[in-house]
Amino acid sequence: MDMPSQAAGPPLDQRLPDELIGRNHGWFTRYRSYPVFSRPWVRGRARTVAPVVVGVFVLMIIGALLPASGDKPWGGIAQFTLNVVLPLFLGPWLAHRVRRLQWPPRQEWWGLVGVFAALVLALAAFNEWGAEPMKQRVAEATGQVDASGKRKKVMIALGMTITSPGEVASAPPQAKPPKDHERTSAATLIVFGLIAFWLAGGGGLWAWRRERAGLAALAHERELAHARAERREAEMRLSVLAAQVEPHFLFNTLAGVRSAIATDPARASDMVDRLVDYLRAAIPRLRSDGGAQATLGGQLDIVRAYLGLMSARMPRLQYRVDAPPELLAAHCPPLMLISLAENAVKHGVEAKVGPSRIDVTARRVGDGQLEVTVADDGAGFGATPAGSGLGLANLRERLKQIYQDRASLVLKSRPEGGVAAVLSLPLE
């Protein structure tokens, strides 16, 4: 039997979420607003069922006292009291004790089943072997025994006359006194067992399963809603970043083109061609709402076009973009690699005098991890004024929102000079 998965619900004695139970509960159903077999649930159910039981008990007492003479069915009333009151209060209390142990769902389920099964079996054993000795002791205590010391047989039924053996002679033939103790029939034991099971709160087992399943579904729904909200926030930040980066980048590039027109028209023409290549690669991806669809191949195309444009602006810059074909379809967050490439140009290449190089490589490492490295041989750490660090902080925050603890971004110095930014992602 499949158990509902463990779900983080409210504490045992606090109300369940309104999404699970609704809002409108009257006096009779208010206890269902709390976890099954919690203290409020047990108390509320007892308040609901107890008046009915007390009413039946009062009717039995009145029926026993109404006849001015004759034997009184005190033994039968005592048996009825034990068969009703014991499961009504003991069953839910024992189930509450099981729930307070905070066992795993499967263990808790079988613990609850064991409580009700043990209680029903105990009552069945009492009715089969213990009820008659108890009635005998009650009869001896109340003086309702015959000359041989055996209790006088008295039948009791709601809505019918209570008859003693001495009055049976004038009764119709079908009204016969009960015989001496016989084994209870299987049908009677089943009926008594079902009544005891219901009084003990056994129906709460199905409510417990529905509660666990409902809490698990609600927790999953809330997690999905939280993930969607975080993704919408990340996409909004991405759109703002794109809106900020594009004009700044375009203005700088066009200024370089205008400067090169007068001194080196061929280089200016090459810069325009490179700019067109970059815009063709970048604009569709920057404008699309497809963070989950961004691939490594698409992001490397943007980086390749960007570095080509930077190489046209700074002929001393050489670059290489390399990745195995089988990794090009892997997921990669948008605008992340281009941000690392821009950092390499700004803080590495521009701060260095003479030829420079940037290598962008991707490989599979470890157990299902994609590692993308953006390495430059530029000036290295400390060669340029320290920035705010906001760009890298935003990248790491985006990684956390998308992958939790399964991704990382590390910057480290290279022995040959420069800096390597290593981006590690789950290979999906």
The helix (run of H) or strand (run of E) holding residue 362 is strand 356-365
425 in helix, strand or coil? strand
Region for residue 267 given its phi and psi (left: phi exceeds 0; alpha: psi -120 to 50; beta: otherwise) = alpha
| Alpha-helical runs (H) found in 143-203 | 186-199
Query: What is the rounded distance in angstroms from the CA atom of residue 304 to the CA atom of residue 356?
Result: 16
Q: How many CB atoms lie within 10 A of CB 93?
A: 16
Work out the average pLDDT over 339-357: 89
Residue 370 dihedral angles phi and psi, to the nearest 5°: -105, 125
Query: What is the rounded distance in angstroms from the CA atom of residue 345 to the CA atom of residue 352?
Result: 10
Identify which has the larger pLDDT, 247 or 70. 70
* Tens-place pLDDT, residues 82-133: 888 888 889 999 999 999 998 998 999 999 999 999 999 998 888 888 888 8
* Tens-place pLDDT, residues 58-67: 887 787 777 6
Proportion of the chain above pLDDT 90, given as a percent = 21
Cα separations (Å) of 385 from 86, 224, 374, 379? 80, 42, 21, 12
Query: What is the rounded distance in angstroms from the CA atom of residue 62 to the CA atom of residue 124?
Result: 27
Residue 317 dihedral angles phi and psi, to the nearest 5°: -90, 125
The band of 248, judged by pLDDT with boundaries at 50, 70 and 90, is low
Helices 186-199/74-100 angle, 10° precision: 50
Closest CA to 425 of 323, 279, 301, 357: 323
Identify which has the larger pLDDT, 331 or 231. 331
Distance of CA 20 to the CA centre of its chain: 13
Identify which has the larger pLDDT, 159 or 37. 37
Query: What is the rounded distance in angstroms from the CA atom of residue 386 to the CA atom of residue 383?
Result: 9
Sheet holding 408-413, edge to edge: 317-322, 356-365, 369-376, 419-426, 408-413
Query: What is the rounded distance in angstroms from the CA atom of residue 55 to the CA atom of residue 48?
Result: 12
pLDDT value at residue 289: 44
**Domain locations in the chain as residue ranges:** 18-218, 264-426
| Cβ-based burial of 406 (10 A; exposed 0-12, middle 13-18, buried ≥19) | middle
Residue 71 dihedral angles phi and psi, to the nearest 5°: -75, 150
Q: Which CATH architecture has domain 264-426?
A: 2-Layer Sandwich (3.30)
pTM here is 0.50
